[in-house]
Amino acid sequence: MLTVPAHTRTYWATALVLAVLAVLWPLLGESDLSLVGVGLGYAVAAVGVDIATGYAGQPNFGQSAFMAIGAYAAAWLENSQGLSLWQASLCAIILCALLATLLGLAAVRLEHLGFGIVTFAFAFVAAAFLQGGALSDITGGPNGTPSPAGSLFGYDVTQPRTLYGVALVVLIVATFLSHNFVRSRAGRAMLTVKGNEKVAAVLGVDATSVKLRAFALSAAFGGAGGVLIAISAGFVTPASFPPAASVTLFGMVALGGVGTITGPILGAMFFWLVPSYAPGLEAKQTVFIAAVFLLVLVVLPSGVFGTVADLVARRRPKLRWARPLGPARGQPARDVRGDDRLARVGERRGRVNVNE
């Protein structure tokens, strides 16, 4: 299990990364926008993985399933049930959160890697279920189904430029919610539960509830990422979100930095864009991802962004990080020895020292 410090003050870095992505919006061509737009979808899903894994200590290896469920549900709700794109997408995201809550009710009680194994198994079960015959009226079975499409506030989302803008807004909202979540009581509770569940219980923290909320939010982001990627692809098939994509998403988070929010965005962009642009690398994508993943685990266990954040934290003035405890300003230094002061506590309470 990766044990990487959580950085709770990285929102400026997140804002910087999002600003760069916003600047690229009018500058990139149509094909690049389409490619980076899909990367943004993966970034939303990867931020979700980071919430569950990096903060709540629950390795979510089932994110590909929630991406698929979000994509299929949005497609079905829009194409067959007559909902508008945003209504269908919202319902799909809520469905993912609810399914995660149901799965989590059993999975979060498992210790150590039990949660990761259950979610990974869920990714395979969901993939088999979605391409099987039981739901073929909704999913189209092995042939798939047309993606959710249509317009959002009068703009055609199938256009790469519009989709990029929508994906960027979704990523901004996802990171905003994530930063609020991890900096709030929920975030403190998650880190306490991740550190030691027994201590969390003694402090009155409901570990099950904390982990369930984190997993539900994680899955909701997975659903949102799935909808964005499906819109870009134009068609949703079982091959769109294979269980192996869960491992790739985990690699994105590990590469960027577990428990950083900004790191997974960078990791998603790297893993999605580098094989796409590097000649000959696309065919060997799996090997490339595995090699980078292993290299990062060995050389930079905190991830690229996590390592940078650590270095920045260490360079801060010592006043803030490691000033030794001494008398406060305006207070005299101690002039009485500790054991004498301990005796004074006893004297105040009318005790006689047994040693005397």
Partner 1 sequence: MSSETSPCGQRQIERPAEPLLVATDIRVAFGGVAAVDGASISVAKGSCHGLVGPNGAGKTTMLNALSGVVRRQAGEIWLDGARIDGLSARRRRRQGLARTFQNPSLVPDLSVLDNVKVGLFPVLRWLSWRDILGFGLARAGERRTAAAADESLDAVGFPVRRRHVRASELSHGDQKIVDLARALAGRPRALLLDEPTAGLTVDEMSDFAGVLDRQRRDYGATLLIVSHHMRFLNDLADAVTVMESGRVLAEGSFAEVSARPEVVSAFLGEYDATF
Binding site for partner 1 (CB under 8 A): 5-8, 176-177, 180-181, 184-186, 188-189, 191-192, 195-196, 198-206, 209, 213, 217, 320-325, 328-329, 334, 337-343, 345-346, 348-349, 351-355
Helix, strand, coil share (%) of the chain residues, nearest 5: 70, 0, 30
Min CB(186)–partner 1 separation in Å:
5
Taken as a whole, the chain contains a residue count of 356
Beta carbon nearer to partner 1, 27 or 354:
354
DSSP assignment of 247-312: HHHHHHHHHH-TT-SHHHHHHHHHHHHHHHHSTTTSTTHHHHHHHHHHHHHHH-TT-HHHHHHHHH
How many Cα atoms are found within 13 Å in the side-chain-facing hemisphere of 290? Answer: 5
Report, in Å, the least distance between residue 97 CB and partner 1.
12
Of 203 and 294, the one with the shorter C-beta distance to partner 1 is: 203
> Can you tell me whether residue 151 is helix, strand or coil?
strand
Shortest Å distance, C-beta 163 to partner 1: 26
**Closest CB to partner 1 among 15 and 138?**
15
Specify the residue, 284 or 351, whose C-beta has the smaller distance to partner 1: 351
User: What DSSP letter does each residue of 211-253 carry, written as one string?
Assistant: HHHHHHHHHHHHHHHHHHHHHHHSEE-GGGS-THHHHHHHHHH
Shortest distance (Å) from residue 345 CB to partner 1: 5
189/219 with CB nearer partner 1: 189
Over its C-alpha atoms, the chain yields an Rg (Å, rounded) of: 24
What is the spatial distance between Cα 244 and Cα 226, in angstroms, rounded to a whole number?
Answer: 15
Q: Measured from the CB of residue 202, what is the shortest distance to partner 1 in angstroms?
A: 5
User: At residue 170, what are phi and psi to the nearest 5 degrees?
Assistant: -60, -40
Nearest approach, Cβ of 73 to partner 1 (angstroms)?
A: 22
Residue 144, amino acid: G
151-152 vs 155-156, strand pairing mode: antiparallel
For partner 1, the closer of residues 27 and 352 by Cβ is: 352
Give the three-class secondary structure for 75.
Answer: helix
Q: Which is nearer to partner 1, 112 or 341 (CB)?
A: 341
> Considering the complex, what minimum distance in angstroms separates the CB of residue 5 from partner 1?
5
Report the DSSP beta bridge partners of residue 155. Answer: 152
Asked if residue 267 lies in contact with residue 254, where contact means CB atoms within 8 angstroms, the answer is yes
**Closer by beta carbon to partner 1, 38 or else 210:** 210
Spatial distance between the Cα atoms of 58 and 39, rounded to a whole number of angstroms: 24
Instruction: Name the minimum Å distance from CB 321 to partner 1.
Output: 6
